[in-house]
Amino acid sequence: MTRKRPAIVVATALIAACAGVPVLVSSANASQPAATPADPDVKRSGTGSYIVQLDDSPVAEYDGDIAGLAATRVVPGGKLLKTAAPPYLYSGPSPVASLATTLAGLEVNEERGDAIRADLWRKTAAVLDCLDRLGAHTPNRSGFPLIEVPLARHEDVDAVGRFLFENGIYVTLAAYPLVPRSEVGFRIQVTAANTNAEIEQLVDVLGRLANRFDLQPARAKVRAA
């Protein structure tokens, strides 16, 4: 009766062969004299061991030349991408809607992106000019549409946020201990979706806010052109 090879030996030989690595496998009955193999290409030692190797290239080298069977060969940089890209590691495939939105955004940018950015820059400048007239400090030097407005009294942050919200202005509050006491205040984010009327409303509310609460006084600064 012929003895079967242990499953672990067969599995090891299969995995190694798929990777293109020859594997040395011991005969299940090495104590008995080695029989002469029928295939003259099979190399067998006197200890009852032989080499297992695939005739075709290993799976790791298959580049997709068979119709309907995707390539399994790793392209240069493929392994680095898998280990160095957090979105690949921590998230699933991007939703189709997200990809479609990205493509639509690129089309809008190509058609009228410069005009949108110029309009956003003008609206941001209107808010910065308002703070200049009020004598209020802001660390914004770039003219970008993120405008921080620190308060003179950090204890006022809750009341300031409530005042702005009740007057139709939604801002991001920066409260202690999330920021140092000297930087407690709020951040205005102007967007391309804001209308001229909304910017005018913001300027009006900032003026009334300055009459009710103390903002940090303006410092010598250089505004972006």
Say yes or no: 118 and 180 in one domain: yes
Say yes or no: 121 and 31 in one domain: no
What is the reported pTM? 0.57
Say yes or no: 208 and 117 in one domain: yes
**CB neighbour list of residue 200: distance below 8 Å, 6 or more residues apart:** none
Residue 93 lies in a domain: no
Say whether 219 sits in a helix, a strand or coil: coil
E strands present in the chain: 23-26, 49-52, 146-150, 172-174, 185-189
The residue among 183, 123, 121 whose CA lies nearest residue 149 is 183
Q: What is the pLDDT of residue 112?
A: 95
Give the span between the Cα atoms of 40 and 54, in whole angstroms.
16
Residue 106 lies in a domain: no
Say yes or no: 57 and 124 in one domain: no
Please check whether residue 64 is in contact with residue 23, taking contact to mean a CB–CB distance below 8 angstroms: no
Say whether 204 sits in a helix, a strand or coil: helix
Say yes or no: 119 and 191 in one domain: yes
Give the domain CATH number at 139: 3.90.1150.10
Say yes or no: 121 and 57 in one domain: no
Give the span between the Cα atoms of 85 and 93, in whole angstroms.
13
Residue 90 lies in a domain: no
Tens-digit pLDDT string for the chain (225 aa): 444 444 444 444 445 445 554 444 454 444 455 455 555 566 666 666 666 666 666 666 777 777 767 666 766 656 655 556 676 667 777 788 988 999 999 999 999 999 999 999 999 999 999 999 999 999 999 999 999 999 999 999 999 999 999 999 999 999 999 999 999 999 999 999 999 999 999 999 999 999 999 999 998 655 544
Say yes or no: 44 and 118 in one domain: no
Give the span between the Cα atoms of 70 and 15, in whole angstroms.
19
Residue 73 lies in a domain: no
| Counted domains in the chain | 2
Residue 223 lies in a domain: no
Say yes or no: 49 and 123 in one domain: no
Q: 32 is in which domain, residue-wise?
A: 7-61
**173 beta partners:** 186
Say yes or no: 55 and 117 in one domain: no
| DSSP secondary structure of 107-161 | HHHHHHHHHHHHHHHHHHHHHHHHHHHHTB-----S--SEEEEEBSSGGGHHHHH
Residue 150 lies in a domain: yes
Residue 74 lies in a domain: no
Q: Of 44, 61, 78, which residue is a domain's last?
A: 61
Q: What is the DSSP letter of 90?
A: H
Say whether 78 sits in a helix, a strand or coil: helix
Please check whether residue 164 is in contact with residue 186, taking contact to mean a CB–CB distance below 8 angstroms: yes
Q: Of 23, 43, 61, which residue is a domain's last?
A: 61
Say yes or no: 41 and 121 in one domain: no
Residue 103 lies in a domain: no
